[in-house]
């Protein structure tokens, strides 16, 4: 899943996307570089970010989705927690909704998704962008994340979203200290077993990598991202959400080959 942030304050890019034409060019290049999905977002959800109105978010994402309609062959995901924004994006052709709040911010998003028949990605988090780290207290991070994602899944299915349409994301970097994020990655197989749904993992350039890569800024964390992506794929992740699609596509393909040979049935010699 390639990340297309059409925001002026994304944490991970050196410069924001200048206009719709630029965003479309980047999206098409991501597809050419090997992206299987494209996630378009109009509000930064990094820790400490300011919220934007639904109107502003729509103004940022809808022109890009419209411009990509009929040109992009891969599915578009709308990265939003607002039902109003999701409904408009789905009407323009988006096929997935990526809710970083796991239905905590706007539970009506579940009904909008169910009505459209779209897939829904439920991400684990706590609190809002400015307070999430205060909520990073866990008894057992994997067990707690699993339990809270199960609650989100129950809300979604009660609103009519089919279980087969749900994807879960443990929320690496959301309401988690670095140790929690590494703990989730290390025990991702346990989470997959507990939830029995496809897993999306989004470690790309996030702050939990910072100390391990020598304090480098987000745009210089792709090697660290590659390690986290490899760990996620080997542990059974179905989707990884990344910025550097061309490089990470290679990482994923090699990690997939390693995973495919894990039981030794394809070994020779």
Q: Could you confirm whether 58 is annotated as catalytic?
A: no
Q: Does residue 176 have an active-site annotation?
A: no
Of 2, 20, 16, nearest to 63 by C-alpha is 20
Assess contact for 86 and 39: CB atoms under 8 A. no
Question: Tokens 């997939």 — which residue?
Answer: 256
* Catalytic pick among 73, 241, 259, 260: 241
Is there a contact between 180 and 132 (Cβ–Cβ < 8 Å)? Answer: no
Q: Categorise residue 78: left if φ over 0, alpha if ψ from -120 to 50, beta otherwise.
A: beta
Catalytic residue among 197, 205, 206, 221: 206
Could you give the CA distance from residue 85 to residue 42 in angstroms, rounded to a whole number? 10
Catalytic residues: 206, 241
């Amino acid at each position: 899943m390639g990340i297309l942030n059409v925001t002026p304050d994304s944490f991970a890019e050196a410069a924001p996307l200048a206009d719709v034409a630029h965003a479309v060019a980047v999206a098409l290049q991501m597809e050419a570089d090997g992206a299987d999905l494209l996630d378009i977002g109009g509000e930064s959800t990094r820790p400490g970010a300011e919220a934007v109105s639904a109107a502003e978010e729509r103004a940022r994402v809808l022109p890009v989705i419209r411009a990509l309609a009929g040109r992009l062959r891969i599915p578009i995901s709308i990265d939003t927690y607002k039902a109003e924004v999701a409904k408009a994006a789905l009407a323009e052709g988006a096929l997935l909704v990526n809710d970083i709040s796991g239905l905590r911010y706007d539970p009506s998003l579940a009904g909008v998704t169910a009505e459209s028949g779209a897939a829904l990605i439920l991400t684990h988090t706590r609190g809002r962008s400015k307070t999430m780290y205060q909520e990073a207290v866990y008894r057992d991070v994997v067990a707690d994340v699993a339990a809270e994602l199960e609650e989100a899944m129950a809300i979604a299915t009660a609103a009519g979203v089919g279980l087969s349409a749900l994807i879960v994301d443990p929320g690496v970097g959301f309401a988690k200290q670095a140790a929690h994020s590494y703990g989730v990655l290390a025990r991702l197989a346990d989470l997959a077993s507990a939830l029995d749904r496809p897993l999306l993992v989004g470690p790309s350039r996030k702050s939990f990598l910072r100390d391990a890569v020598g304090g480098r800024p987000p745009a210089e964390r792709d090697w660290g991202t590659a390690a986290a992506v490899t760990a996620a794929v080997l542990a059974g992740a179905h989707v990884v959400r990344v910025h550097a699609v061309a490089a990470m596509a290679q990482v994923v393909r090699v990690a997939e080959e390693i995973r495919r040979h894990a039981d030794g049935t394809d070994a020779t010699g």
